[in-house]
Amino acid sequence: MKINVLGRTDIKVSRICLGTMTYGEQNTEAEGHAQMDMAVDHGVNFFDSAEAYSFPGKPETQGNSERVIGTWMKARGNRADVVIATKIAGPSGDRTHIRNGNLVFNREQVADAVEQSLERLQTDYIDLYQTHWPERKANYFGTLDYTHVEDGDWTPMEEQLAALGEQVKAGKIRAIGVSNETAWGLMKFQEIAERTGLPRIASIQNPFNLLCRQFEIGLSEIAIREDCGLLAYSPLGFGTLTGKYMNGKVPEGSRHQLFPQFKRYFKPNGVKATEAYVGLARDHGLEPSQMALAFVNSQRFLTANIIGATSTDQLMSNLETEDMVLSEDVMKAIGALHLEYSHPAP
């Protein structure tokens, strides 16, 4: 397993990170433990969660993902051997069950969120603590166009970084990251850090896959030059790039069958592009999901590829891509399809 350094920290993470948002919803605690055991056996040391998980967010399952990780670490006695990332939720009208709806990044709420995550994780420190999405109004989760909102009722970014920095100083978190962030937001945090001596942002967790490559436009250069690598989430585009939804199929128990409200990768252009990429993989004797993951793994700006699975068979297939290198012909063909279907699922 390739090991990368997280930003400018001394934290070493496996290039494949196991996402755990299904734990406590689509996966039981026992299934989550089995997945994490398998991942560790294949060299993975990096696990990602969030206070909002299980997915999709609802009161009865909120925090379950962290709880499953916590019981696993306690049972295995391996806290020092793994890197745990989690996230603080930002403002959201449908998540009032989290911290009584006080979803801002001020000193009080950051401290409260950290303490609750530590309790669920059954640990006294978090390796990487990330803002799940910006507190300010910005484009994320596939929002198109841009409507500017003047500085409103949101915590100033220097105050946000200071609140997170207090938790670093207290030894409760080791590094800070952002998620679903824009180029301006990431650079603003880095500028504040340089000016004030507060902790730098070590990573950015944004979507990246064959159907959603907006990260390359501006954030890729920042990730490399600022040593703030990508933690790529949804590398299989909500499962579409496996090919299992081809020809309108919706398998029983699949994420799209369970949560049809999430349509980012199921719009007409996305469906057409998916068919093309799946066809390309099969023409070259490749599993579509493995080609998609290997493409993400090949990016220079990547720190870790966050894979997820609901079964150990799926997980094994994903883990097998660690040493997979796509041929020059396949990469050229991917480039040609990208020109034909540019950003079909932003």
Examine the pLDDT at 252 and tell me if it is beyond 80: no
pLDDT (tens digit, 9 = 90+) per residue, 62-116?
Answer: 999 999 999 999 999 999 999 999 999 999 877 889 999 999 999 999 999 999 9
Say if strands 16-19 and 46-48 run parallel, antiparallel, or are unpaired: parallel
In angstroms, the CA 205 to CA 86 distance is 11
pLDDT value, residue 198? 98
In angstroms, the CA 87 to CA 299 distance is 24
The mean-pLDDT minimum among 12-21, 139-148, 210-219, 229-238 falls in: 139-148
pLDDT value, residue 47? 98
pLDDT value, residue 224? 98
Examine the pLDDT at 188 and tell me if it is beyond 90: yes
- pLDDT band, residue 141 (cuts 50/70/90): confident
Topology of domain 3-239+296-324, CATH: TIM Barrel (3.20.20)
Q: Which residue has the tokens 């994320």?
A: 140
In angstroms, the CA 256 to CA 278 distance is 18
For the chain, first and last CA: distance in Å?
Answer: 30
pLDDT value, residue 10? 98
Q: Which helix (H) or strand (E) holds 306?
A: strand 302-307
Beta-strand (E) ranges in 145-297?
A: 173-179, 201-207, 229-233
The total of other beta-carbon atoms located within 10 Å of residue 40's CB is: 18
- pLDDT band, residue 208 (cuts 50/70/90): very high
Which residues, at least 6 apart from 313, have a Cβ–Cβ distance to it below 8 Å?
A: none
- pTM for this entry: 0.96
Q: Locate the domains of the chain by residue range.
A: 3-239+296-324
Residues 296-306 have a mean pLDDT of 98
String of DSSP letters for 53-83: PSSSP-GGGTTHHHHHHHHHHHHHT-GGG-E
In angstroms, the CA 169 to CA 204 distance is 21
Task: State whether the Cα torsion 256-264-245-306 is positive or negative.
Answer: negative
CB 59 within 8 A of CB 68: no
Q: What is the average pLDDT score of the chain? A: 95
In angstroms, the CA 88 to CA 256 distance is 26
CB 97 within 8 A of CB 55: no
Q: Which residue in 23, 53, 129, 233 is the catalytic one?
A: 53
In angstroms, the CA 325 to CA 339 distance is 22
Clarify whether 125 is annotated catalytic: no
